[in-house]
């Protein structure tokens, strides 16, 4: 068995898929942190801080043992200065979709890599949602649970830019 070239500190199936698509060998460590936003913390500072804390926590799992670099990321959907979290339920997801509909919002992805050195990067994407009908703005059916996606952003809207919006920048 080949050793991984990277440790991924993320439960995100989309991040896993993106790393697989570019051919990286990686292992996953599950990191559980308090993700509360600090008072007066700017959205960019928030995602960068969380990404670095996750990467450091992933590295700490190995103690003094050698390990590949640890990659972590955090993504937030931002309207104005308001960070939209994961919806609590379908009604909350529908409210978020209505808030996003017909306007431009930002998706901020903080990425951190911790090995012998530490590095962080921020990706900011502007996403324009078209106006949606009441029916379109209501999550229904057997689709993936909206609570697995930040601010109920439908995955089909991410397709062209998923490498940026999912928080693992795989191309320039």
- Helices first, then strands: H and E counts in the chain: 5, 6
CATH number at residue 102: 3.90.950.10
Report pLDDT for 144: 47
Is 74 among the residues known to form the active site? yes
Distance, in Å, from the CA atom of 80 to the CA atom of 69, rounded to the nearest integer, reads: 34
Q: How confident is the model at residue 68 (pLDDT cuts 50, 70, 90)?
A: very high
User: What number of other Cβ atoms are within 10 A of residue 8's Cβ?
Assistant: 26
Q: Is the residue at 162 inside a domain? A: no
Q: Is the residue at 20 inside a domain? A: yes
The C-alpha angle 83, 89, 94, rounded to 5 degrees, equals 70
Q: State which residues form the domain around 105.
A: 6-156
Q: Is the residue at 74 inside a domain? A: yes
Give residues with Cβ within 8 angstroms of 172, minimum separation 6. Answer: none
Lowest-confidence pick of 29-43, 71-85, 149-163: 149-163
Q: Is the residue at 136 inside a domain? A: yes
The domain tally of the chain equals: 1
Report pLDDT for 11: 85
Q: Is the residue at 168 inside a domain? A: no
Each residue of 97-129: pLDDT tens digit?
888 989 999 999 999 999 999 999 999 999 988
Q: Is the residue at 164 inside a domain? A: no
Kindly state the percentage of the chain with pLDDT values over 90. 48
Q: How confident is the model at residue 134 (pLDDT cuts 50, 70, 90)?
A: confident
Q: Is the residue at 95 inside a domain? A: yes
Residue whose tokens read 């990191």: 31
Q: Is the residue at 29 inside a domain? A: yes
Catalytic residue among 30, 34, 40, 74: 74
Please, what's the b/e burial string for 134-144 (b: 16 or more CB within 10 A of its CB; e: otherwise)?
eeebebeeeee
Q: Whole-prediction pTM value?
A: 0.79
């Amino acid at each position: 068995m080949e050793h991984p070239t990277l440790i991924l500190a993320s439960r995100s199936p989309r991040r896993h898929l993106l790393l697989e698509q570019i051919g990286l060998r990686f292992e996953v460590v599950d990191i559980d942190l308090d993700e509360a936003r600090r008072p007066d913390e700017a959205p960019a500072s928030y995602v960068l801080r969380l990404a670095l804390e996750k990467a450091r926590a992933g590295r700490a799992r190995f103690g003094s043992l050698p390990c590949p670099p640890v990659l972590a990321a955090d993504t937030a959907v931002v309207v104005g200065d308001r960070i939209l979290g994961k919806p609590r339920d379908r009604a909350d997801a529908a409210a978020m979709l209505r808030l996003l509909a017909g306007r431009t919002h930002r998706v901020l992805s903080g990425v951190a890599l911790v090995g012998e050195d530490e590095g962080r990067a921020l990706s900011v994407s502007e996403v324009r949602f078209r106006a949606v009908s009441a029916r379109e703005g209501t999550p229904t059916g057997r689709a993936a649970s909206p609570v697995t996606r930040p601010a109920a952003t439908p995955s089909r809207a991410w397709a062209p830019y998923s490498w940026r919006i999912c928080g693992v920048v795989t191309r320039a």
